[in-house]
Structure 1
Amino acid sequence: MQIRFDGRVAIVTGAGGGLGRQHALALGARGAQVVVNDFVAANAEAVAAEIRAAGGTAIAAAGSVSDEAAVAAMVQAAMTAWGRVDILVNNAGILRDKSFGKMTLADFREVLEVHLVGAAICTQAVWPVMRAQKYGRVVMTTSSSGLYGNFGQANYGAAKMGLVGLMQTLSIEGAKDGIRVNCLAPTAATQMTEGLMPPAVLAKLDPAAVSPGLLFLVSDDAPTRAILCAGAGTFERAYVTLTHGVHLGTGPDVPEQVAAQFDAISDRSRETVPMAGSEQGQNEVTQAVAGS
């Protein structure tokens, strides 16, 4: 059965080009009423016009995701037009790549402001709407640079891993109100990645190949708390895990024991995917009680 979004209202940030444009076009093609956001008004309007020309429904909303007033106006525009917001795709982003030793704190802050704080601003703006209607789908755009690191992207990586933490908590807080929150980690050739990879590689990394994963993450049957990775038509899933660990007590030689037992502490044969941060403490206390 085809995934459809008839009657659903979707906001896609940073949708004037690249991944965001493909996400918006894909949602519009499957029946969603789309708010196309971009920092450049002409780009947002061009994509909204594309959706309408293809028979879909869309409006443009210009403004930075880090501008609270602009975000509030964007959400209000959706509410005025259609009376609800079902889907938020936090896609907007910028790059300020430089090795950490050469990076200014201004560049560090700017990237966090757009990727992480911007996603929080947009999500908080739609949160009461989604809670009231007892339905919501939110996607944070994370990255392998955040999950695994990448030279020259300390600011970007920190922001992208921060989005994973935001997703983890919001998925817990939103569950009772039917709000599902996930992360998408795309690999795609966009304006942001131009010049970073050989042309032959870029040719395979069509942004349109990522959007099918996005459609699943915002569908009625979406999971929650998933980190879906996507690129070149391949889809993977990433996890934040916890090893079982080793109880070493609190004696004076514990630092030396941590060093000696580090391989055992790192053993992944009994690792778990905690459903809440409290599970780390529960594991530690359980082992402490058993060892006392």
Structure 2
Amino acid sequence: MRELPKELTLPSGLVPPEPPDPPVTPKDAATVMLVRDTAAGLEVFLQRRVRGMAFAGGMTVFPGGGVDRRDADTSIAWHGPAPEWWAERFFCDVGLARALVCAAVRETFEESGVLLAGPDGDSVVADVRPFAAAREQLVNRELSLAGFLAEAGLVLRADLLRPWANWLTPEQETRRFDTRFFLARLPEGQLADGETSEASDTRWQRPGDALDDWKAGRDGLLPPTWTTLAELEDCGTVAEAMVVEREISVLMPKVARDGDTLRIVLPGDPLYDGSPAHLDARPDDRIGR
């Protein structure tokens, strides 16, 4: 794993002086890095969250969001690795694994208009325009993913996703997420858009260029986003990224005081173990939660 740069710091007033006691229980969430090949190299789809949002307002992120209880619906037509396979990769129970994959597909459709589903296990929707009304209903929680896919006669394509990482929000935060990161290739014929109320702008960008924008102060990146962009920068093509075998462990950044600076550190950094609100996040602690 890439070491976080020392420039990745926080304003002194951003972190509460005392963490919540007890810590807030993290909400399960899924986020998806949509990637595509271009003549200039691999690009990833990014969106800048609207300023003033309760979590990560103004930051540049990948599409994603919290798991809906209806995402665990076992009636969803499914093609690809079974929930048991995903449960092994993300160290969780099968029901949660199913919900995480479904949340990844749903959130990607809601926030970018990209639909990882098709009429059968051998095809993917090329034109999502007929599903515009359903997309809005999903956003408003008037429709479940299961209901949408059944009505449209579509199969969820779990085989289009790859497990990438698992990040846990620090204990100091009042809004916490246990987020599983997925990788997905942009389906042929589909376009990612910015038609979401959660983003002020969206774009496709090479990972290295996105990191340059952060370094120049043009974008704000959270530790998981910075790290993932750095990892994707090492992949020259989508095919290279999709075949990467990931050993996934739970990663929880911590906020450490380094003089007058609040630095974000990861396990392995000398400042990590001595930081307040330390959490030993072990995968088996969460099974059955």
TM-score (norm 1): 0.23
Higher helix proportion (structure 1 or 2): 1
TM-score (norm 2): 0.24
**Structure with more relative contact order (C-alpha pairs < 8 Å, separation 6 or more):** 2
Higher strand proportion (structure 1 or 2): 2
Rg bigger for which structure?
Answer: 1
